[in-house]
Amino acid sequence: MRDFRNPRYKVLRDREECIECDLCVRQCANEVHYRDKKTGALRADSMKCVNCQRCTLLCPTRALAITRWPQVDAGSAVWTEGAMDDITAQAQTGGVLLASMGNPKSYHIYWEHLLLNASQVTNPSIDPLREPMETRVVLGSRPSKLRVNERTRTVVSPLPPQLSCDVPVMFSAMSFGSVSLNTQKALALAARELGTYFNCGEGGLHRDLEPYADRAIVQVASGRFGVDPHYLNAGAAIEIKIGQGAKPGIGGHLPGEKINEEVSRTRMIPEGTDAISPAPHHDIYSIEDLRQLIFSLKEATGYAKPVAVKVAAVHNVAAIASGMARAGADIIVLDGFRGGTGAAPKRIRDNVGIPIELALAAVDERLRQEGIRSTVSLVASGTLRNAADVVRAVALGADAVSIGSAALIAMGCHQCGDCASGRCNWGIATQRADLVSRLAPEAAAERVVNLVSGWNREIQEMMGGMGINAIDSLRGNRLMLRGVGLNEKELEILGVKYAGE
Amino acid sequence: MYDFDRPRTARPDAAGTGVVAGSARLAPCDRHPRAPREGDVRIPAGCAIAAIMDRSGARHDGSDILRSIALMHDRSNGLGGGFAAYGIYPEYEELYAFHIMYESDEARRETEAYLDTYFMSEKQERIPTEPVASIKNPPDIWRYFAAPHPMRLAASGLDEAEYTMAHVFHINGKIDGAFVASSGKNMGAFKGVGYPEDIGAFYRICDYDAWAWTAHGRFPTNTPGWWGGAHPFTLLNWSVVHNGEISSYDANRRYVEQFGYDCELQTDTEVITYLFDLLSRRHGLSPELAAHIMTAPAWDEIDAMDAADAAFETALRTTYASALVNGPFSVILGSSEGLLAINDRLKLRALMAAEKGSMVYMASEQAAIELVCPDAENMRAIGGGEPFVVQLDSVVAAKAAADADAENDPHNAPLAHEVGVLPRRKEA
């Protein structure tokens, strides 16, 4: 069937600069750049271009640039090129549209409407170069009051198991299969260097990652891939994945062609078979079932590992989170609707769920109203883009945040949104050996460590400006935030005052 | 929170008039719109603080504390001063001594009717005051020596302190124009709008004898001019004077509000008092450990400790992470046991201490101590994050004698007034 869509991008080649080295031809797994068989000329098929920017950034003479396809649309604000492209694609395939990475729509980003405070006169700001500035967070459940013996300086009933993060930033779950092993290795190396945790996702823990298991959160999702007692006991913590911000309410599907020998071994499924994660856990049809799974996992690990439960931010998330805390979750992970993914149905990704900012504020407030906020930890994810976003998330009530997209961008990802094709030119979202080898774990880890270290310095600077020297005093400290460009209802849900108040 | 008509923490402007509900407790005035008062907005303030205590329990009049705080005149701006005194009502030591400020007769009538319902008052009287030129428009200030109504106390299912606290919150939050300045036993707070030396003269504090005095002179950054907003802030036997502005305020507020404390005044002093009440009275930790939790050692220090100590400190810091108090502050906590002083971890506020015989002195400035005790010994600055504890000799002796193991055991014993309820609990 003839494709009635225009290309999205146009490849521009500066013929004066181009030295015809063919590096672009070799680098592009999408086969955009090619030698014309008849003339031998270097040409580009713009239709195949996903704008991953691999060629433009590696071109030794900077002869390449990608621009938007210049075709004007019909001038309709309703029937935009994008809206028509979706219809055309479905008219040609009859299928569900697939998409990758986070929701690209221009919904309100509430982070950008929250401004931070700083000390003036009545309260000195603190210089992090001079004074200690603590960013360590400890995650897990804890009693609301501690039984201690003050004379012997001992705790009568020991604390439940905890995770200790030197920075308030962890790495979101990304499974082997959706990302390459080198990507996971880079995150594992970075987590160890930073004193934080990576999450192996639902695809099992590859044996090469076992040396980093003390920095791993192992995930149990609806497909239960790679789950056995050894796996559960290997990591520092266990995360039950109920849902994901990019695709709340649905499962996952890793096509058989991606299940190569290594993925098959790690996921504990036959090579070449589709890996289907059902939409629900078929042993969790209600909150009391979640409790049973939580305690099954605690039993399996001798109550030595914190159990986190991750949900997508959906309409009733505050009540759901409260139920999770009461069901025994030690850590509640909230993933907002802009969170990334390797593949999701486009309609789900773009339309289901709610922003993390509102979900986080609502959950934190509900847990406080019920007097249980201090007994459980709260982790927020789904578009934390910089250190200021982290500070905002903590001030809204998060103990820590997780980053996925930001860590991948540090490694080279340019958010082309074509992860599902398996042709990631950066070696991240692919299992093709030639592409995976482009990502050197040590070099990628260095970039991620640099990123998070830089963020942590910025967090310290911002905390110091507020006159705060421990992140504990920032958590839930919403007076450190003021809203701009928000209506009263938004301010009420976020629990912040308007700038000037 | 116990449902005695839980006070609102927010006072929405329902009528859209620009005047916040609850403002009726302010005496009518012509300025419009009036400046926001304590509790409507958060008002940062700088301060002077001072304390004098006799560890032997011997009582002294308020003249020394008055001179000590008066010397630090420049640290306050005439918009708030006050004193807390322990041991001033020995003849009523078993009864709660409520000091209550009224801005109208209606407020007094409503409050007294409320107190009559929930307490049995043995004595009630206007607190004697002396006219002072600089003190304008004082409220009508009364005190009540009262015990909880036994039947209502039993029906509440609360212990005496919780019961009393809940009713204090009700009066402060729900009765317009009434404010409980103090609610402890054998102690009282004397505070108002003015320089502390004028407030002291107004209340005639030189005519009271106490084994411990604390004092506060306030430098708020705007002009609420409300007597209830002056310090010391008190709850039950606790009194807190505080110098500084805590940057962790909202984290601490939202933490204690989980446990039913209503931060009506939006002040640091209030939330610090509630933290002490929560950690010490409710959770059974010593005030020193409560202060230690509020100024917890840095993780670097904890990491350097031996394993057992590190485990203890980690458990404290983890469980009570939101009780960490941040920003510059020096605090003097008064209680029935004595005084406790604490500075922020970085030591961003001045606080000096000295002693002479059984006397202990503390003040924001050394001169304020030397003025009243020129030959004071062991003059020192109280370190950052190091609780400085002064207890009555009798308390020290009693604690040393108590051989009981030192576990905190908050509220696990049956309440005294439950023991006589039928059917009796069978012994296990």
Q: Note the pLDDT tens digit of each residue in B143-174.
A: 999 999 999 998 998 999 999 999 999 999 99
Assign 3-class secondary structure to A426-479: CCCCCCCHHHHCCCCHHHHHHHHHHHHHHHHHHHHHHHHHHCCCEHHHCCCCHH
Find which of B243, B247, B292, B294 to mutate to test the A interface (most A CBs within 10 Å of its CB).
B247
Task: Name the range with the highest mean pLDDT among A456-460, B245-249, B269-273.
Answer: A456-460
ipTM for the complex? 0.92
Instruction: Choose between A447 and A256: higher pLDDT.
Output: A447
* Interface contact flag, A147 B409, Cβ < 8 Å: yes
In this prediction, residue B14 carries a pLDDT of 39
Is the model's pLDDT at B180 over the cut of 60? Answer: yes
CB of A291 closer than 8 Å to CB of A298: no
Is the model's pLDDT at B406 over the cut of 70? Answer: no
Nearest by CB: A368 against B257, B318, B324: B257
CB of B297 closer than 8 Å to CB of B38: no
Strand A497-498's sheet: what is its strand order? A114-116, A481-483, A497-498
Q: Please choose, from the candidates A470, A396, A476, the residue with its C-alpha nearest in 3D space to the C-alpha of residue A128.
A: A470
The percent of residues above 70 in pLDDT, for chain B, comes to 82
**CB neighbours of residue B424 within 10 Å:** 8
Instruction: Provide DSSP, B339-400.
Output: EEEEE-TT--S--EEEEETTEEEEESSHHHHHTT-TT-EEEEEPPBT--EEEE-HHHHHHHH
CATH of A9-95, picked from 3.60.20.10, 3.30.70.20, 3.40.50.300, 3.10.450.350, is: 3.30.70.20
Computed over every residue of chain A, the mean pLDDT equals 95
pTM to 2 decimal places: 0.91
Is the model's pLDDT at B197 over the cut of 70? Answer: yes
Mean of the pLDDT values across residues A112-138?
93
| Segment B307-322, tens digit of pLDDT | 999 999 999 999 999 9
Could you tell me the fold of the domain covering A137-143+166-248+279-470? TIM Barrel (3.20.20)
Is the model's pLDDT at B290 over the cut of 80? Answer: yes
Work out the minimum CA distance from B420 to partner chain A, whole angstroms: 29
Confidence of residue B363 (pLDDT cuts 50, 70, 90): very high
Lowest mean pLDDT: which of A275-279, B8-12, B99-103, B108-112?
Answer: B8-12
Q: Is B47 a catalytic residue?
A: yes
Instruction: For residue B330, give both structure tokens.
Output: 């020096």
Find which of B263, B319, B320 to mutate to test the A interface (most A CBs within 10 Å of its CB).
B319
The percent of residues above 70 in pLDDT, for chain A, comes to 100
* Interface contact flag, A466 B247, Cβ < 8 Å: yes
* Contact residues, chain A, for B345 at CB < 8 Å: 469
Is the model's pLDDT at A348 over the cut of 60? Answer: yes
Is the model's pLDDT at B409 over the cut of 70? Answer: no
Instruction: For residue B267, give both structure tokens.
Output: 């002040």
Report the chain B residue with the minimal C-alpha distance to residue A151: B406
Tokens 């001038």, residue located:
A75
In this prediction, residue A255 carries a pLDDT of 80
Q: B120 φ, ψ to 5°?
A: -115, 115
* Contact residues, chain B, for A378 at CB < 8 Å: none
Q: Please choose, from the candidates A424, A398, A415, the residue with its C-alpha nearest in 3D space to the C-alpha of residue A338.
A: A415
* Contact residues, chain A, for B256 at CB < 8 Å: none
SS3 A68: strand
| Amino acid identity at A252 | G
Count contacts between A and B (CB, < 8 Å).
144
Lowest mean pLDDT: which of A3-17, B67-81, B382-396?
Answer: B67-81
Annotated catalytic residue, options B29, B47, B263, B373: B47
Mean of the pLDDT values across residues B215-220?
87
Q: Please choose, from the candidates A340, A220, A216, A202, the residue with its C-alpha nearest in 3D space to the C-alpha of residue A275.
A: A202
Report the chain A residue with the minimal C-alpha distance to residue B407: A149
3-state helix, strand, coil in chain B (%, to 5): 30, 25, 40
Is the model's pLDDT at B205 over the cut of 90? Answer: yes
* Domain boundary assignment for chain A: 9-95, 137-143+166-248+279-470
Confidence of residue B36 (pLDDT cuts 50, 70, 90): low
Contacts of residue A455, Cβ cutoff 8 Å, sequence gap at least 6: A167, A169, A386, A387, A390
In this prediction, residue B25 carries a pLDDT of 37
Instruction: Choose between B421 and B408: higher pLDDT.
Output: B408
**CB neighbours of residue A154 within 10 Å:** 17
Lowest mean pLDDT: which of A9-23, B50-64, B411-425?
Answer: B411-425
Nearest by CB: B250 against A126, A155, A479: A479
Is the model's pLDDT at B372 over the cut of 80? Answer: yes
Instruction: Choose between B25 and A97: higher pLDDT.
Output: A97
Is the model's pLDDT at B10 over the cut of 70? Answer: no
Is the model's pLDDT at B26 over the cut of 90? Answer: no
Superfamily of domain B49-78+229-248+265-402: Aminohydrolase, N-terminal nucleophile (Ntn) domain (3.60.20.10)
DSSP structure class, residue A203: G
Lowest mean pLDDT: which of A210-224, A350-364, B226-240, B284-298?
Answer: B226-240
In this prediction, residue A18 carries a pLDDT of 97
* Interface contact flag, A148 B255, Cβ < 8 Å: no
Burial A258-288 (b: 16+ CB within 10 A, else e): bbeebbbebbebeeeeebebeeebeebeeee
Q: Please choose, from the candidates A10, A20, A31, A30, the residue with its C-alpha nearest in 3D space to the C-alpha of residue A59.
A: A20
| Segment B76-134, tens digit of pLDDT | 887 889 999 999 999 999 999 999 999 999 999 999 999 999 999 999 999 999 999 99
Same fold, A9-95 and A137-143+166-248+279-470: no
Instruction: Choose between A112 and B412: higher pLDDT.
Output: A112
In this prediction, residue B399 carries a pLDDT of 83
Instruction: For residue A275, give both structure tokens.
Output: 């890996």
Assign 3-class secondary structure to B323-344: HCCCCCEEEEEECCCEEEEEEC
Angle at the Cα of B144 from the Cα atoms of B138 and B147, rounded to 5 degrees = 155
In this prediction, residue A142 carries a pLDDT of 95
State the Cα–Cα distance between residues B398 and A242, nearest whole angstrom: 56
Confidence of residue B47 (pLDDT cuts 50, 70, 90): confident
Q: What is the dihedral of CA B310, B315, B321, B327, to 10 degrees?
A: -30
Is the model's pLDDT at B11 over the cut of 60? Answer: no
Annotation: binding site of A for [4Fe-4S] cluster:
18, 21, 24, 28, 49, 52, 55, 59
In this prediction, residue B227 carries a pLDDT of 87
Burial of residue A393 (number of CB atoms within 10 Å: 0-12, 13-18, 19+) = buried
Contacts of residue A258, Cβ cutoff 8 Å, sequence gap at least 6: A177, A422, A431
Nearest by CB: B312 against A153, A466, A480: A153
* Contact residues, chain B, for A368 at CB < 8 Å: 254, 257-258
Confidence of residue B417 (pLDDT cuts 50, 70, 90): low
Task: Find the length of chain B.
Answer: 428
Confidence of residue A253 (pLDDT cuts 50, 70, 90): confident
Q: Does A41 touch chain B (CB under 8 A)?
A: no
Work out the minimum CA distance from A286 to partner chain B, whole angstroms: 27
Burial of residue A133 (number of CB atoms within 10 Å: 0-12, 13-18, 19+) = buried
The percent of residues above 90 in pLDDT, for chain B, comes to 69
DSSP structure class, residue B47: E
CB of B330 closer than 8 Å to CB of B316: no
Work out the minimum CA distance from A469 to partner chain B, whole angstroms: 7
CB of B118 closer than 8 Å to CB of B5: no
State the Cα–Cα distance between residues A179 and A429, nearest whole angstrom: 4
Instruction: For residue A101, give both structure tokens.
Output: 């990475």
* Interface contact flag, B251 A474, Cβ < 8 Å: yes
Lowest mean pLDDT: which of A189-198, B44-53, B287-296?
Answer: B44-53
Report the chain B residue with the minimal C-alpha distance to residue A463: B247
Handedness of CA A407, A409, A410, A413 (dihedral sign): positive
Report the chain B residue with the minimal C-alpha distance to residue A394: B251
| Segment A319-342, tens digit of pLDDT | 999 999 999 999 999 999 999 999
State the Cα–Cα distance between residues A79 and A87, nearest whole angstrom: 10
Work out the minimum CA distance from A188 to partner chain B, whole angstroms: 23
Q: Helix A356-369 to helix A317-326 angle, to the nearest 10 degrees?
A: 50
State the Cα–Cα distance between residues B330 and B340, nearest whole angstrom: 11
Of the CA atoms within 13 Å of residue B337, those in its CB half-sphere come to: 15
CB of A64 closer than 8 Å to CB of A368: no
Confidence of residue B35 (pLDDT cuts 50, 70, 90): low
Instruction: Choose between A55 and B19: higher pLDDT.
Output: A55
Work out the minimum CA distance from B263 to partner chain A, whole angstroms: 14
Of the CA atoms within 13 Å of residue A129, those in its CB half-sphere come to: 0
* Contact residues, chain B, for A474 at CB < 8 Å: 251
Report the chain B residue with the minimal C-alpha distance to residue A162: B318
Nearest by CB: A136 against B42, B299, B308: B299
Contacts of residue B374, Cβ cutoff 8 Å, sequence gap at least 6: none
